[in-house]
Amino acid sequence: MRGGLWQLGQSITRRLAQSDKKTIARRCYASEADLKKTVLYDFHVANGGKMVPFAGWSMPIQYKDSIMESTLNCRENGSLFDVSHMCGLSLKGKDAIAFLEKLVVADVAGLAPGTGSLTVFTNEKGGAIDDSVITKVTDDHIYLVVNAGCRDKDLAHIEEHMKAFKAKGGDVGWQIYDERSLLALQGPLAGSTLQFLTKEDLSKMYFGEFRIIDINGSKCFLTRTGYTGEDGFEISVPSENALDLAKAILEKSEGKVRLTGLGARDSLRLEAGLCLYGNDMEQHITPVEAGLTWAIGKRRRAEGGFLGADVILKQIADGPSIRRVGLFSAGPPARSHSEIQNENGESIGEVTSGGFSPCLKKNIAMGYVKSGLHKPGTKIKIAIRGKTYEGSITKMPFVATKYYKP
């Protein structure tokens, strides 16, 4: 079976590499010569990282392990991802919360200090500009991380609204952490491995919580969160200390936590049923359509006050016209833009992400279908390269999440 897994992994690697090149042609914001490099670039290359352009950065898609092996190892042991291409920033000031609540759907004011939540930046039509994990550090300090491919538009959007807010007397400013790197440590061994490197008791830190603590001798922003469905952490570390921290994590795990690239990160997040902005969320998709109504705070549903609130609150009341769903299918794995049909061959939606699940050993996908046709168990067909294959709608996540909760 191991030989078969290896072959499947290599096949997935080739397909992902090909699909990534197509994605790059559409989304890359720099020429090859202008690609940005994280401070771990040489470390990636020295450890066999296969570097590809991604959102203007040179990033590892995989290392010596196949994507299949890396995915399984994250679920069984752990993975260390370099996600320094993402943009961390803080909003500070006595009106920081009031300002941010004009731009996102979360009940930021209702968060306890040191806790966070997934949220969505919306536009005037209720569409998603980006999704982000935000943390209320204190009542006048919010920390957030935005996606690499959305950095420029997100910062421009925030800055435009901040200028207008401050012109009316609002007290808010920002700090962008370009001098810091971001590492994601994910998997069952994440907590025990990181515990070796800090005096803070991580057993008392739960999913969604945030602390500023000393890790391996440097001041880090630590959030118990991730993008794999596993327990884990995102660690914002001063860039001059990032390499030492990465080496220490790998060493303390005794080789069980492995460097992992974008390929396995994508299969892990898909198995966990998590959206990838640019695929499963776009500026024309609302949080309600994306299945993220839970991220809209109860107070925000009552009061509104964020961009596109009229559209979003109407969808909550009346139901959206389309819904994000999980899919199982036969035949080759479904890919982005594959047509979803009902049993009569009529188009009812489109796949946004898909692939072969290393953990389930079957094809999984997510996409959007017309409301009323979104119930789990609904039989569908998926059109791939001129042929249709049987499938069904299913609940997500595909693989049970293992977040560390009290």
Which residues are annotated as part of the binding site? 234
**314-335 exposure pattern, b = at least 16 Cβ within 10 A, e = fewer:** ebeeeebebbbbbbbbeebbbb
Neighbours of 166 (CB within 10 A): 15
Secondary structure of residue 68 in the 3-state scheme: helix
Residue 95 · residue 165 · CB < 8 Å: yes
| Positive or negative: CA dihedral 153, 155, 158, 164 | negative
Between CA 265 and CA 262 the distance in angstroms is 5
Is it true that the peptide bond before 397 is cis, omega within 30 degrees of 0?
yes
Amino acid at 237: V
User: Which segments within 76-217 are labelled E, that is strand?
Assistant: 78-82, 87-92, 115-122, 128-138, 141-146, 173-176, 180-186, 210-215
Between CA 123 and CA 307 the distance in angstroms is 5
| Parallel/antiparallel/unpaired status of strands 257-259 and 78-82 | parallel
C-alpha gyration radius of the chain: 21
Angle CA 371–104–116, to nearest 5? 105
- Which residues carry a binding-site annotation for substrate? 234
Residue 165 · residue 172 · CB < 8 Å: yes
Which residues have C-beta within 8 Å of that of residue 176, sequence separation ≥ 6?
Answer: 87, 88, 89, 155
Between CA 384 and CA 387 the distance in angstroms is 5
Between CA 21 and CA 171 the distance in angstroms is 44
The size of the chain, in residues, is 406
Angle CA 86–10–262, to nearest 5? 5
Amino acid at 314: K
Between CA 340 and CA 370 the distance in angstroms is 10
Burial label, 230 (beta-carbon count in 10 A; 0-12, 13-18, 19+): buried
